[in-house]
């Protein structure tokens, strides 16, 4: 063996060792066959379609957060205008990012413009079209973009906290990067995501408000009518949680009139825990503790309002409105016919914090664990079976050279798997498609070379030069076919979505390793064989 060839084999051996190490030698060097198996199954990450689990795509309704900001601005402007004695006709939100102010008194319009430009710097001011003395406030695009980004980041963090609190194994929570405002949640091994879904979707906005009117009303209009059509300043009508108090009765809606400004919000919570209900045996309740700062506010408030009612409002629904019997320092109870699980989930949601905007589910795919197991078993069994058949055929058809091809193919698979392990790539069903195309092209590369060598042999060349010419000629073809496919795979990766990308990744890795095995490795084996055999002996091909 000449030295150049020796170095080739040393390099190939190094690659093989590196790959084997990557597959079974990490994280701890195995000492038993069980550990080898364990490492292998840890290293080759399977997608949810093969392993079983839930794949959820949800969309954050970001426009809600923008609209909320707009509402707040309307409130603030109304208040400021009032304080500064600026006379205006109407202040109204037009859409999520625009506020219309009508009939500003020309005498105070200067003061109005100063107010907006000094205190509402997030807004642009322009005369409203078709209005005399009317103005249109528009949220600056940079501010809209900020709110969008912040809302998405906050939603992602909140969802992450909630899912981690559920204690599921290895969840993935990330932006999909596909559509706008989409978050991907993957829960491996989860066969029934119903509970996780409701925990993710729960708003989690807790507010404690003073009840402005001790009465309750059967409808919104009744509540308004009781006050002559105009609510007390700073008050709002909130619906009660509909639930039947007696079995068999359909729930009657109840409406409350509450102070709009909450005394306590979810951000004031220090903790929340589920506990068996003290008033209703068999039910559960959620007990919460307040932070020190808010307790300092809450104590005096409750003391001043003994005998009044206070509403516990969750996601804009009144859960209970108990009468305050004495000073309360830093704790409270939410009652609401909870089961143990729903009480647990609510306290978890309260602790994790509220979502900045509501969310909608766009997609759910749940592969049961038995289907995943079947897919792997059948897919792997069929793939291995067909690879073996192909290999046997290659050996029969090309004899010793066929063995060469088998080595190249096996090495190709090894490199592909190891590379995926090192890169942390996930093997999915479409990924298996990529593997199959890789094997197909691997077989093809070998066949191309061998057929070419046979041709050269037929034309009367000696084995050594036939091999050299065969590889040289086939090399161009192999490069062309591989580069074409890699080019297409790169485009698929750039523009495709999840499954298509999985296909592209395995394909690119497989094709690169194929060029290495079917040209470099196969050539080295041929050269080694030629260096040992008699110059005039026949090549086994």
Interacting residue with other proteins among 75, 303, 329, 363 (CB under 8 A)? 363
> Closest by alpha carbon to 104, among 120, 84, 123?
84
Asked if 37 touches other proteins (CB under 8 A), the answer is no
Q: How far apart are CA 324 and CA 319, in angstroms?
A: 15
- Only one residue has tokens 């057929």, namely 451
Burial of residue 359, with CB atoms counted within 10 A of its CB: 0-12 exposed, 13-18 middle, 19 or more buried: buried
Taking the least distance from each CB to other proteins, the nearer of 302 and 438 is: 438
Taking the least distance from each CB to other proteins, the nearer of 313 and 441 is: 441
Asked if 381 touches other proteins (CB under 8 A), the answer is yes
Taking the least distance from each CB to other proteins, the nearer of 167 and 229 is: 167
Pairing assessment for the beta strands 284-290 and 310-314 based on DSSP bridges = unpaired
Rounded least distance, CB 500 to other proteins, Å: 6
Taking the CB of residue 523, how many other CB atoms lie within 10 A of it? Answer: 21
Which residues in 143-162 contact other proteins (CB under 8 A)? none
End-to-end distance of the chain based on CA atoms, in angstroms? 22
Rounded least distance, CB 485 to other proteins, Å: 5
**Cβ within 8 Å of residue 98, ≥6 positions away:** 70, 136, 137, 138, 139
Asked if 491 touches other proteins (CB under 8 A), the answer is yes
User: Site mask, other proteins, residues 412-451, x = CB under 8 A?
Assistant: -----------------xx-xxx-xx-xxx-xx--xx--x
Rounded least distance, CB 57 to other proteins, Å: 7
> Closest by alpha carbon to 420, among 491, 498, 508?
508
Kindly determine how many residues on this chain lie close enough to bind other proteins according to the rule CB under 8 A: 88
Asked if 168 touches other proteins (CB under 8 A), the answer is yes
Instruction: Give 209's strand partners.
Output: 311
Rounded least distance, CB 305 to other proteins, Å: 39
Stretch that binds other proteins, among 86-94, 261-269, 476-484, 526-534 (CB under 8 A): 476-484
Which residues in 391-410 contact other proteins (CB under 8 A)? 393-394, 396-399
Rounded least distance, CB 406 to other proteins, Å: 12
Q: Is omega for the bond preceding 27 within 30 degrees of 0, making it cis?
A: yes
| In contact, 88 and 112? CB cutoff 8 Å | yes
Asked if 454 touches other proteins (CB under 8 A), the answer is yes
Q: At what angle do helices 3-24 and 369-423 cross, to 10 degrees?
A: 140
Stretch that binds other proteins, among 66-74, 89-97, 245-253, 473-481 (CB under 8 A): 473-481
Rounded least distance, CB 247 to other proteins, Å: 18
Asked if 494 touches other proteins (CB under 8 A), the answer is yes
Taking the least distance from each CB to other proteins, the nearer of 336 and 430 is: 430
Taking the least distance from each CB to other proteins, the nearer of 57 and 139 is: 57
Taking the least distance from each CB to other proteins, the nearer of 79 and 178 is: 178
Q: How far apart are CA 339 and CA 376, in angstroms?
A: 38
Stretch that binds other proteins, among 105-113, 140-148, 298-306, 363-371 (CB under 8 A): 363-371
Asked if 183 touches other proteins (CB under 8 A), the answer is no
Asked if 259 touches other proteins (CB under 8 A), the answer is no
String of DSSP letters for 345-396: HHHHHHHH---SS-EEEEEEEEE-HHHHHHHHHHHHHHHHHHHHHHHHHHHH
Asked if 64 touches other proteins (CB under 8 A), the answer is no
Stretch that binds other proteins, among 28-36, 77-85, 288-296, 362-370 (CB under 8 A): 362-370
Asked if 239 touches other proteins (CB under 8 A), the answer is no
Residue 257 C-beta-side C-alpha neighbours within 13 Å? 22
Asked if 164 touches other proteins (CB under 8 A), the answer is no
> Closest by alpha carbon to 400, among 520, 533, 511, 514?
533
Rounded least distance, CB 61 to other proteins, Å: 11
User: Site mask, other proteins, residues 192-221, x = CB under 8 A?
Assistant: x-x---------------------------
3-state secondary structure 153-196: HHHHHHHHHHHHHHCCCCCEEEECCCCCCEEEEEEECCCCCHHH
Q: Where do runs of H (alpha helix) occur along 84-128? A: 109-119
CA dihedral 488, 490, 491, 494 (to 10 degrees): 160
């Amino acid at each position: 063996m000449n030295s150049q060839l020796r170095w080739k084999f040393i390099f190939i051996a190094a690659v093989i060792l590196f790959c084997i190490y990557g597959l079974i030698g990490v994280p701890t060097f195995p000492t038993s066959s069980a550990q080898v198996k364990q490492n292998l199954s840890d290293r080759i990450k399977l997608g949810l379609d093969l392993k079983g689990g839930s794949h959820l795509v949800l969309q954050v309704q970001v426009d809600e957060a923008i609209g909320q900001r707009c509402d707040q601005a309307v409130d603030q402007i109304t208040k400021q205008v009032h304080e500064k004695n600026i006379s205006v006709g109407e202040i109204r939100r037009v859409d999520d990012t625009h506020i219309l102010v009508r009939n500003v008194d020309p005498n105070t319009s200067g003061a109005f413009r100063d107010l907006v430009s000094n205190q509402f710097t997030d807004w642009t001011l322009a005369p409203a079209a078709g209005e005399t003395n009317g103005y249109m406030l528009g949220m600056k695009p940079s501010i809209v973009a900020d709110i969008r980004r912040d809302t998405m980041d906050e939603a992602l963090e909140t969802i992450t906290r909630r899912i981690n609190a559920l204690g599921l194994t290895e969840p993935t929570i990330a932006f999909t990067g596909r559509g706008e405002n989409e978050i991907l949640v993957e829960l491996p091994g989860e066969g029934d995501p119903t509970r996780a879904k409701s925990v993710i979707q729960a708003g989690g906005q807790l507010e404690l408000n003073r009840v402005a009117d001790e009465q309750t009303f059967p409808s919104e209009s009744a509540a308004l009518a009781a006050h002559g059509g105009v609510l007390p300043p700073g008050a709002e009508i909130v619906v009660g949680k509909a639930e039947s108090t007696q079995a068999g009765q359909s729930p009657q809606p109840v409406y409350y009139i509450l102070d709009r400004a909450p005394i306590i919000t979810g951000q004031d919570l220090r903790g929340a825990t589920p506990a068996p209900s003290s008033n209703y045996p068999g039910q559960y309740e959620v007990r919460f503790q307040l932070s020190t700062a808010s307790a300092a506010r809450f104590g005096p408030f409750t003391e001043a309002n003994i005998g009044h009612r206070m509403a516990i409002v969750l996601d804009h629904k009144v859960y209970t409105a108990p009468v305050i019997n004495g000073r309360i320092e830093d704790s409270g109870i939410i009652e609401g016919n909870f089961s143990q699980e729903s009480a647990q989930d609510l306290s978890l949601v309260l602790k994790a914090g509220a979502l900045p905007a509501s969310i909608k589910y766009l997609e759910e795919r749940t592969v049961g664990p038995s289907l995943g197991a079947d897919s792997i078993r059948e897919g792997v069994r069929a793939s291995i079976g067909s690879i073996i058949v192909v290999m046997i055929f290659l050996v029969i058809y090309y004899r010793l050279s066929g063995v060469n091809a088998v080595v190249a193919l096996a090495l190709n698979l090894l490199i592909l798997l190891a590379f995926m392990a090192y890169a942390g790539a996930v093997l999915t069903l479409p990924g298996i498609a990529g593997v199959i195309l890789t094997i197909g092209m691997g077989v093809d590369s070998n066949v191309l070379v061998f057929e070419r060598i046979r041709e050269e042999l037929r034309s009367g060349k000696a084995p050594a030069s036939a091999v050299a010419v065969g590889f040289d000629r086939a090399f161009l073809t192999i490069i062309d076919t591989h580069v074409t496919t890699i080019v297409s795979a790169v485009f698929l990766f750039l523009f495709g979505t999840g499954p298509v990308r999985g296909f592209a990744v395995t394909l690119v890795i497989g094709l690169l390793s194929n060029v290495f095995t079917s040209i470099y490795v196969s050539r080295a084996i041929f050269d080694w064989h030629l260096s040992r055999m008699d110059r005039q002996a026949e090549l086994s091909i």
